[in-house]
Chain A
Amino acid sequence: MKPFRQYSGIAAPLMRDNVDTDAIIPSREMKQVAKTGLADGMFADWRYLYKGTRRCGPNPAFILNQPGFEDSSILLAGNNFGCGSSREHAVWALAEYGMRAIIAPGFGSIFFNNCIHNGILPIVLERAVVDRLAEQVRSAPTKNRIQIDLETQQVLTPDGTCHDFTIAPLARAMLLQGISAIDMTLQHREAIAQFKAADSKRRSWAYL
C-alpha cells in the first residue's frame, strides 16, 4: 500500500448523490478472483456507450472522458458516495484506475473503510464546499488542481482557500505509513488470547 502524505492532482466532479458501488463497478465487470483487472470496468455503465450489451467506445458525456479530466486522480462526489453493496471491488477499481482521494459530503460506511484499507483517502467536507470545488475544477481542470495534506489534515483549493478535515487517528496512521490493519491488531495477540480463555468459560455455548 502506498503511503499517503501530501498529494496534488486533477479532480473530477461527479456530484450525483447516492452513487452506489454497483455503479462504481457493475457486477459483470468483476471477472477475476483478484484485486486487479478492475479499472477498465470502473463506472462502466456511464463511462462507455453500448450497442445492446456490447461496449462501443467511450461515452463523451461522462466526466472522466472529457478533455482535461482524463488524468483525474481525485473525485469530487455527492452525498452518500459508495453506498450499497459492500463489494470492495469498487475501491480496488478506483485505486487501480489511479484515484488517490475522494472528497464528498458523506460516504457509505463500508466503502469509507475500504478506501482506507486500500490507500485511498476519503475526505468529508460540507456540501457547499464540495460544490464550490466542483465549480472551480470544471472551469480549468488541469490548472485548478487540488492539494491535499494528510499530515495537517487540510485541503487546499485552487482559489487558495484551505479546508480542514477530520479523520480517525487510526485511519490516518494507516494511510500515512501504508501499513496493514492485521499487523496492527496482531500486536494485541496476548489480549485476544486472554479474552478467549475467559469468554469460552463464560459463554461456552458459543464455541464450536
Chain B
Amino acid sequence: MSASLFDKIWDAHLIRQFDDGSSLLYLDRVFFHERTGSIALASIHEDGHQVANPAHVFATMDHILDTFPGRDDHTQIPNGQQFILTTRKQAHLAGVTLFDINDPRQGISHVVSPEQGIALPGCTLVCPDSHTCTLGGLGTLAWGIGSSDCEHALATETLRVKKPRQMRVVFDGTPAAGVSAKDMILHLISRYGTSGGSGYMIEFTGSAIAALPVEARLTLCNMAVEFSAFSGIIAPDDATISYLKDKLYSPKEARWEEAMAYWKTLYTEPAARFDKEITINCRKIHPTVTWGTSPQHAITLHERIPDPAHCTEAEGRAIKRALDYMGLKAGASIRGTPIDAAFIGSCTNSRLSDLRVAASILKGRKVAAGVKAICVPGSSQVKQLAEAEGLDSIFLDAGFEWRESGCSMCFYAGGESFGEGQRVITSTNRNFENRQGKGTRSHLASPAIVAASALSGYITDIAEP
C-alpha cells in the first residue's frame, strides 16, 4: 500500500475517470453563504435544474449581514438586504437547511460546519468560498469553488476535477510556548511565498501538527489557500474523533461506530510518495506578524521590515509598493509600530479557544487610548459559549466591542470598514490592499498578538503597560 490520506479519500469518491485526466467526484456536502451561494442557487433554478440532494446542502448568513447587536435583514452594504432575502427564499424553495440570522447555529460557514458536525473526516465538502480549506483540519477533503462550480455541485452532487499534485509539509519538533498555529502557517508562507503551494493538495503532518488541538488545526488549514494550495488536510486522530462526538449532524450510534472505524484507516501509508516535501523545524518559529500587503510579507516580532535596496529589482518594487501602501519605513522595527485598531474575528481565529487566549491577556486590563478594538465571535454558538464562561465581560471591560457573529470587518461584511490609512492588527487571513476598507492597513497576527497590541497601542506580543 502506498496511498496517501488524500488518495484514499479521492478514490472513495471517484465516480468516473475521463480521458482528459479529469475525474467525476462525489460530494458528500455542499455549503454556501448568502453572498455567492444565493446567486448559484437562483441561477440553477433559472436554468431549469434542481438541487440534487437538499439533505446534504447547508447554508448560512455570514458575509452580508452586519454584526451589530440587534441586527436584522438591513445592512449598510448597498443592496445587501437583497442577498439576504434571496438566500432565504432560495434556500426555502430548494429545501436546504439554512442557518438564518437569529438561528443559534448561524455563523461563519467554516466555523459552523465543524462545530455542527457537517464537515466530517473522509468526506468531500465544497463551498463557494476560498477558505473552505479550513475544514481540512478535521480530515475533510474540502475546497473552495466558484459560483459556476457551486451550481454544478448543487445540481449534480458531483464536480469534475483534475487530481492535483500532492505535497507534504512536515512541522517537526515542538514549537516554543506562545507560538500558535497562526505563527506556523505565516512562517511557512513567508519562507516559501504565497505561490509556494500552488496547485498542490497539501497534507500537513509532523509532531507539531499531532500536538495541535482541533481548532488550531482549522486555523492552520484555513490559510492553505493563501499558500495557493488546492487545499490542505490533516489526518484525523483521537482528538478529531472526540471533537466530533455528539455534534448535531455527526453520525450517531451504530453509524458513529462505523464512522470511527473508517476514520482510523485515514492516514498516509509509509510507502506513499509525494510530488514535493517541505520540512519545517518548529524551533525556528516565533510569534509572527505581517508588515505588507501579502501574507508572505510576514516576519517575526524581532525582525526588521525588509529593505527594497537589499533585494532583486522585481522583489524590491513589490516591497516598495507594499511599504508605500502600509505607510512603513524599510529597515524599521515592526514591534512598536503604533496601531489604530485591533480586530479579533474571522474563520481563521474566532473560535472559542482563540477568544480564550485573547481574554487571558485582556483580563483586568484596558485597551490603549485611541485604539478601536472589536471582537466578533466566529459563530453564534461560539458567542454563546464564550458568554457562558464570562469572556464577553472580559472583552467589554477591556474596551473591546462584543459583536454578533459573522465575517464582519475581515473584509467588508455589513458594509463596515476601518477607513483610510487606519492601521489594524487583525486575526484574519488576508492583508491585501483595501481588504478591510479602502486604504486600510492590515497586519495579520494571532489572537494573542492582537490582544497584546490592543492593550499596548502598538504591535507587540508582550502586553504593556
Q: Do A and B come from one complex?
A: yes
Q: Which residues of A approach B to under 8 Å, CB–CB? A: 17-18, 20, 22-23, 26-28, 30-35, 45, 50, 52-53, 79-80, 83-89, 91, 106, 108-111, 113-114, 117-118, 168-170, 180-182, 184-186, 188, 191-192, 195-196, 199, 202-208
Asked if residues B156 and A27 are in contact (CB atoms below 8 Å), the reply is: no
A30-B35, A182-B49 given; A86·B144 CB < 8 A:
yes
**A200, B252: Cα distance in complex, Å:** 16
**A191, B158: Cα distance in complex, Å:** 11
Interface segment, B11-19, B275-283, B381-389?
Answer: B11-19
- Give the shortest distance, in Å, between A128 (CB) and chain B (any CB): 13
Q: Out of B15, B16, B160, B228, which one reaches A80, CB within 8 Å?
A: B228
Which of B55, B82, B228 gathers most chain A CB within 10 Å?
B228
B155 close to A (CB within 8 Å): yes
Some 28 contacts from A to B, beta carbons below 8 A apart, are A17-B318, A22-B411, A23-B433, A28-B78, A28-B412, A30-B35, A31-B77, A31-B78, A31-B79, A52-B420, A53-B438, A83-B194, A85-B430, A86-B128, A86-B145, A86-B146, A88-B148, A113-B146, A168-B20, A168-B21, A182-B47, A191-B15, A192-B15, A192-B24, A192-B26, A202-B12, A203-B12, A204-B255
**Chain A residues in 8 Å Cβ range of B35:** 30, 87
**Chain A residues in 8 Å Cβ range of B433:** 22-23, 45
Interface segment, B37-45, B105-113, B372-380?
Answer: B37-45
Asked if residues B42 and A33 are in contact (CB atoms below 8 Å), the reply is: yes
**Chain A residues in 8 Å Cβ range of B22:** 168, 170
Q: Chain B 423-435, CB within 8 Å of chain A: the 1/0 string?
A: 0000000101111
A30-B35, A108-B228, A117-B149 given; A86·B438 CB < 8 A:
no
Q: Find residues 151-172 in chain B having any chain A CB closer than 8 Å to their own CB.
A: 151-152, 155-158, 160, 162
**Chain B residues in 8 Å Cβ range of A87:** 35-36, 146
B83 close to A (CB within 8 Å): yes
Q: Out of B39, B79, B258, which one reaches A35, CB within 8 Å?
A: B39
- Give the shortest distance, in Å, between A42 (CB) and chain B (any CB): 14
Asked if residues B434 and A45 are in contact (CB atoms below 8 Å), the reply is: yes
**A195, B55: Cα distance in complex, Å:** 18
Q: Out of A23, A50, A118, A169, which one reaches B432, CB within 8 Å?
A: A23
Which of A23, A45, A170 gathers most chain B CB within 10 Å?
A170
**Chain A residues in 8 Å Cβ range of B56:** 207-208
Q: Out of B78, B130, B415, which one reaches A110, CB within 8 Å?
A: B130
Q: Find residues 131-159 in chain B having any chain A CB closer than 8 Å to their own CB.
A: 144-149, 151-152, 155-158
Asked if residues A18 and B21 are in contact (CB atoms below 8 Å), the reply is: no
**Chain A residues in 8 Å Cβ range of B128:** 86, 88
**Chain B residues in 8 Å Cβ range of A111:** 146
Which of B146, B155, B318 gathers most chain A CB within 10 Å?
B146
- Give the shortest distance, in Å, between A91 (CB) and chain B (any CB): 7
**Chain B residues in 8 Å Cβ range of A22:** 411, 430, 432-435
A45-B433, A181-B152, A205-B251 given; A32·B79 CB < 8 A:
yes
B5 close to A (CB within 8 Å): no
**A45, B155: Cα distance in complex, Å:** 35
- Give the shortest distance, in Å, between B325 (CB) and chain A (any CB): 11
Asked if residues B430 and A84 are in contact (CB atoms below 8 Å), the reply is: yes
Asked if residues B194 and A188 are in contact (CB atoms below 8 Å), the reply is: no
**Chain B residues in 8 Å Cβ range of A169:** 19-20
B267 close to A (CB within 8 Å): no
B195 close to A (CB within 8 Å): yes
Asked if residues A203 and B262 are in contact (CB atoms below 8 Å), the reply is: yes
Q: A53-B420, A185-B156 are in contact. List 13 more A-B contacts (CB 8 A).
A: A33-B83, A80-B195, A84-B130, A85-B430, A106-B198, A180-B47, A181-B160, A182-B151, A182-B152, A205-B120, A205-B256, A206-B123, A206-B251
Q: Chain B 235-247, CB within 8 Å of chain A: the 1/0 string?
A: 0000000000000
A22-B435, A83-B194, A110-B130 given; A185·B152 CB < 8 A:
yes
Asked if residues B148 and A117 are in contact (CB atoms below 8 Å), the reply is: yes
B68 close to A (CB within 8 Å): no
B230 close to A (CB within 8 Å): yes
Q: Out of B26, B160, B259, B430, which one reaches A205, CB within 8 Å?
A: B259
- Give the shortest distance, in Å, between A169 (CB) and chain B (any CB): 4
**A169, B411: Cα distance in complex, Å:** 37
**A113, B149: Cα distance in complex, Å:** 8
**A204, B122: Cα distance in complex, Å:** 13
Q: Find residues 14-68 in chain B having any chain A CB closer than 8 Å to their own CB.
A: 15-16, 18-22, 24, 26, 28, 35-36, 38-39, 42-44, 47, 49, 55-56
**Chain B residues in 8 Å Cβ range of A180:** 47
Q: Which residue of A lies closest to B263 (CB)?
A: A205
**Chain B residues in 8 Å Cβ range of A191:** 15-16, 24
Q: Which residue of A lies closest to B128 (CB)?
A: A86
**A34, B43: Cα distance in complex, Å:** 9
Q: Which residue of A lies closest to B413 (CB)?
A: A27
B129 close to A (CB within 8 Å): yes
Q: Which residue of B lies closest to A90 (CB)?
A: B146
- List the 6 closest pairs (A to B, CB-CB), nearest first: A117-B148, A205-B259, A27-B412, A205-B251, A114-B146, A88-B147
A83-B228, A204-B255 given; A195·B15 CB < 8 A:
yes
B249 close to A (CB within 8 Å): yes
- Give the shortest distance, in Å, between A15 (CB) and chain B (any CB): 11
**A20, B39: Cα distance in complex, Å:** 21
Asked if residues B86 and A33 are in contact (CB atoms below 8 Å), the reply is: yes
Asked if residues A109 and B148 are in contact (CB atoms below 8 Å), the reply is: no
Q: Find residues 209-234 in chain B having any chain A CB closer than 8 Å to their own CB.
A: 228, 230
**Chain A residues in 8 Å Cβ range of B15:** 188, 191-192, 195
**Chain A residues in 8 Å Cβ range of B38:** 33
B348 close to A (CB within 8 Å): no
- Give the shortest distance, in Å, between A37 (CB) and chain B (any CB): 9
**A184, B22: Cα distance in complex, Å:** 13
Q: Which residue of B lies closest to A185 (CB)?
A: B156
A20-B432, A33-B82 given; A170·B20 CB < 8 A:
yes
- Give the shortest distance, in Å, between A183 (CB) and chain B (any CB): 9
**A106, B430: Cα distance in complex, Å:** 20
